[in-house]
């Protein structure tokens, strides 16, 4: 048994290594794509998006398709291309929660925060990788969906044009919406730290809350309730991928109507609040 | 080097770690012992910043762990609870951790080879046995070639070959000048691995000394004596603080006086001695003595 003499370890091959944000992004990318559940979710996004587009474009009721004016044809194209977002948002939400809650339920978060002890680097690294991946996969799936819908509608005699800006912008907005929903879900997962709890909370916010408010608005006939409902994430964010009618009638007085810009900003506000709360809790709590 | 000062952790009403101060030095293996719930794991989690201390601080090589530019190169930690996503393969788990620090893939292969995980590296961790999971945890701890190793019960679930490997590897790492800090409740394990011991009981430091001192410090040091004249020797030895216990087989156990003195007394009284053997307390006994009042969960011995 020797007592400690101040020996220094010989220089090793790893002496130059550094923790860096680039490294964290790379790590989170490896983590994301090395899980089967991610691949299932992303595959499902493409499948649901394209499947529903083909279905809707195929069965839409068309009267005298050749005579449909260009604006209405564009509206039909946007509707059938983005119809799948109603479903793929749920998949994006589940993926967003799982990306972080899965680490808590398995204990992986301890390894993650040991490697990245500042924690926020790992939190934002995860968030960025998730958002970019969901956005890219959504762009691809909405791109395929719109091509499929264009093909089917054209075959049915409707004269549609995919390159119009009022068609392309909602498609882009749909991908942005899905990425924002994934981030909001991620924040829920970080706050709640349980897969079941996080998924229930985000699906409740996206699905149950709008219906509940609708019921209340219907029963009370109160304008303010429906106004509140239009500020929910799904309603406000829905404006991002809605077709904009060129001469839509002005809303009745007292009724709030969000457009793509204001709706997008409202959803962004939800996301920012969620992400900030998540960041504060992640930094403060014991793991 | 790990320096811990006034470290305290409170979970609600529970004081898990209570004003603990000690230093873990490089170049030796330091064992961290204590009964269940003593606060060993909590202390180790606070060193790497997973739990925030209620008071006090822990420094690794002079800085808080999180302030090092390459934390994994500074400390390799194997913590008690599992810390791996069950859906990922061992290789991808290690590769993801390595990526944060730009550790090359070759190092990932190296630690997989060192821990004997080659055959299961591409299997998902969910199906791992306890021992394989433990090896993966050790592989992750070694990934950054750290100056300091913190291993919470590293031999948990390992087979005898694995236990020996961990023991020899820890000694080797310490001989390279690294700081090695291992927790265990297994005294026998510690007596073969550690040079220095820190004993914790109910969140407080009970002992912080070289392993030989811990053994020597045990009050139960006795001398076994045999003589044909039991009565006479017992009478000759009688004195304050000296106890003589006689056994059925004719042996006596004398405490409170050392072997040399017993021999002198016997010689002066003309009493023959057939045996005169100092009996050291084992580390096990020393440890039990230290912690007997500090055990949180006493097991009832039914007779
Ligand atoms: N996250 C926590 N929340 C509440 N109490 C905790 C938490 N972690 C530990 N404790 C309590 O703190 C005390 C110390 O626990 P710790 O796990 O550090 O002990 P230990 O020495 O590692 O025990 P063991 O030998 O069983 O591993 C225990 O009473 C435990 O119940
Ligand atoms: Mg423990």
Please spell the DSSP secondary structure of B140-193, one letter per residue.
HHHTT--SEEEEESTTTT--HHHHHHHHHHHHHHHHTT-EEEEEES-HHHHHHH
CA A48 to ligand 2 centroid distance, Å: 47
Cross-chain Cβ contact B71/A117 below 8 Å:
yes
Q: Which-ligand-closest: CA of B14?
A: 1
Using CA positions, which residue lies closest to atom 1 of ligand 1? B11
Q: pLDDT band at residue B220, thresholds of 50, 70 and 90?
A: low
Q: Based on the structure, what is the number of domains in chain A?
A: 1
Please give the C-alpha separations between residue B30 and each of A174, B3, B115, B194, in angstroms, as whole numbers.
58, 13, 22, 5
pLDDT above 60 for B129: yes
Q: pLDDT band at residue B302, thresholds of 50, 70 and 90?
A: very low
Q: Does domain B220-279 have CATH number 1.10.3470?
A: no
Cross-chain Cβ contact B83/A108 below 8 Å:
yes
> Would residue A37 count as lying in a domain?
yes
Print the domain residue range for A193: 21-59+66-244+252-284
Ligand 1 pocket: which of B15, B17, B18, B40 to mutate (most atoms within 8 A of CB):
B40
- From CA B203, how far away is CA A68, in angstroms rounded? 79
| C-alpha Rg value of chain B to the nearest Å | 24
Nearest CA in chain A to B172: A9
> Would residue A12 count as lying in a domain?
no
Report the pLDDT value the prediction gives residue B303, as an integer from 0 to 100. 35
Per domain, the residue ranges of chain B are: 2-209, 220-279
- From CA B292, how far away is CA A172, in angstroms rounded? 69
Distance from CA of residue B234 to its chain's centroid? 40
Structural contact between residues A119 and B66, judged by C-beta atoms closer than 8 angstroms: no
Of the two residues B256 and A68, the one the predictor is more confident about is A68
The ipTM, to two decimals, is 0.90
Sequential pLDDT tens for chain A (287 residues): 444 444 444 556 788 899 999 999 999 999 999 999 999 999 999 999 999 999 999 998 888 888 889 999 999 999 999 999 999 999 999 999 999 999 999 999 999 999 999 999 999 999 999 999 999 999 999 999 999 999 999 999 999 999 999 999 999 999 999 999 999 999 999 999 999 999 999 999 999 999 999 899 888 888 888 889 999 999 999 999 999 988 777 777 778 888 999 999 999 999 999 999 999 999 999 98
- From CA B162, how far away is CA B137, in angstroms rounded? 13
Report the pLDDT value the prediction gives residue A6, as an integer from 0 to 100. 42
Task: Please state the rounded mean pLDDT for residues B207-233.
Answer: 82
Report the pLDDT value the prediction gives residue B283, as an integer from 0 to 100. 66
> Would residue A14 count as lying in a domain?
no
User: Which of B111, B179, B180 is closest to B144 using CA atoms?
Assistant: B111
> Would residue A3 count as lying in a domain?
no
Long-range contact set of residues B167-176: C-beta below 8 Å, sequence gap at least 24? B167/B192, B167/B193, B170/B29, B171/B29, B173/B149, B174/B26, B174/B27, B174/B28, B174/B29, B175/B27, B176/A7, B176/A9, B176/A10
Please report residues of A whose CB lies closer than 8 A to that of B22.
Answer: none
Which pair of tokens denotes residue A244?
A: 């904009």
> Would you say the CB of residue B16 lies under 6 angstroms from ligand 1?
yes
> Would residue A13 count as lying in a domain?
no
Place of tokens 């809303």: A251
Residue B100 has its nearest CB partner, among A1, A15, A115, at A115
> Would residue A92 count as lying in a domain?
yes
Report the pLDDT value the prediction gives residue A34, as an integer from 0 to 100. 97
Structural contact between residues A127 and A24, judged by C-beta atoms closer than 8 angstroms: no
Please report residues of B whose CB lies closer than 8 A to that of A102.
Answer: 85, 87
Can you count the helices (H) and strands (E) in chain A? 12, 0
Ligand 1 pocket: which of B38, B46, B203 to mutate (most atoms within 8 A of CB):
B38
Residues 6+ apart with CB under 8 A from A151: none
Which pair of tokens denotes residue B293?
A: 């009042």
Specify the CATH architecture of the domain B2-209. Answer: 3-Layer(aba) Sandwich (3.40)
Q: pLDDT band at residue B239, thresholds of 50, 70 and 90?
A: confident
pLDDT in tens, B39-94: 999 999 999 999 999 999 999 999 999 999 999 999 999 997 689 999 999 999 99
pLDDT above 50 for B186: yes
Q: Which of residues 55-94 of B touch A (CB under 8 A)?
A: 65-66, 69-73, 77, 79, 81-89, 92-93
> Would residue A203 count as lying in a domain?
yes
- In ligand 1, the atom with minimum distance to the C-alpha of B43 is 18
> Would residue A5 count as lying in a domain?
no
DSSP B21: E
């Amino acid at each position: 048994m020797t007592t400690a003499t101040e020996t220094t370890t010989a220089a090793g091959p790893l002496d130059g290594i550094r923790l860096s944000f680039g490294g964290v992004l790379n790590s989170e990318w490896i983590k994301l794509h090395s899980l089967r559940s991610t691949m299932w979710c992303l595959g499902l996004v493409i499948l649901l998006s394209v499947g529903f587009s083909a279905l809707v474009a195929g069965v839409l009721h068309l009267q005298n398709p050749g005579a449909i004016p260009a604006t209405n044809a564009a509206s039909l194209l946007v509707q059938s291309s983005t119809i799948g977002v109603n479903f793929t948002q749920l998949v994006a939400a589940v993926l967003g929660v799982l990306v972080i809650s899965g680490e808590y339920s398995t204990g992986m978060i301890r390894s993650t925060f040991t490697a990245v002890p500042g924690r926020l680097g790992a939190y934002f690294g995860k968030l960025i990788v998730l958002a970019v991946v969901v956005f890219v996969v959504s762009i691809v799936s909405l791109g395929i969906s719109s091509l499929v819908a264009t093909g089917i509608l054209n075959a049915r005699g409707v004269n549609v044009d995919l390159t119009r800006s009022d068609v392309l912008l909602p498609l882009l907005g749909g991908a942005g919406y899905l990425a924002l929903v994934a981030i909001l879900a991620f924040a829920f997962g970080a706050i709640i730290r349980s897969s079941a709890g996080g998924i229930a909370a985000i699906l409740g916010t996206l699905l149950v809350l709008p219906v509940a408010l609708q019921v209340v608005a219907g029963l009370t006939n109160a304008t303010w309730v429906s106004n509140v409902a239009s500020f929910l994430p799904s309603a406000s964010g829905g404006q991002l991928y809605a077709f904009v009618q060129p001469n839509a009638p002005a809303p009745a007085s007292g009724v709030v109507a969000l457009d793509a810009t204001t709706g997008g900003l409202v959803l962004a506000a939800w996301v920012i609040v969620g992400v900030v709360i998540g960041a504060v809790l992640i930094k403060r709590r014991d793991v | 080097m790990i320096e811990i000062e006034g470290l305290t952790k409170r979970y609600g009403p529970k004081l898990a770690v209570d004003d603990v101060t000690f230093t873990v030095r490089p170049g030796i293996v330091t064992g961290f012992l204590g009964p269940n719930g003593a606060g060993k794991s909590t202390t180790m989690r606070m060193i790497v910043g997973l739990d925030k201390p209620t008071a006090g601080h822990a420094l690794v090589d002079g800085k808080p762990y999180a302030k090092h530019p390459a934390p994994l190169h500074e400390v390799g930690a194997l913590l008690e609870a599992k810390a791996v996503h069950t859906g990922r393969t061992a290789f991808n788990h290690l590769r993801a951790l390595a990526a944060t620090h730009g550790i090359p893939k070759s190092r990932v292969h190296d630690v997989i080879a060192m821990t004997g995980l080659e055959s299961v590296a591409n299997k998902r961790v969910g199906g791992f046995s306890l021992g394989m999971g433990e090896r993966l945890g050790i592989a992750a701890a070694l990934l950054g070639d750290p100056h300091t190793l913190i291993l919470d019960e590293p031999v948990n679930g390992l087979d005898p070959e694995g236990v020996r490997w961990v023991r020899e590897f820890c000694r080797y790492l310490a001989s390279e000048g690294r700081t090695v800090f291992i927790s265990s409740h297994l005294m026998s394990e510690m007596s073969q691995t550690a040079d220095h011991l820190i004993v914790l009981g109910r969140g407080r430091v009970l002992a912080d000394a070289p392993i030989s001192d811990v053994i020597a410090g045990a009050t139960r040091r006795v001398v076994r004596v045999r003589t044909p004249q039991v009565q006479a020797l017992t009478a000759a030895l009688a004195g304050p603080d000296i106890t003589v216990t006689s056994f059925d087989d004719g042996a006596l156990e004398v405490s409170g006086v050392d072997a040399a003195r017993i021999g002198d007394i016997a010689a002066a009284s003309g009493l023959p001695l057939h045996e005169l053997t100092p009996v050291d307390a084992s580390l096990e006994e020393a440890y039990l003595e230290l912690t007997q009042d500090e055990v949180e969960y006493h097991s009832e011995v039914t007779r």
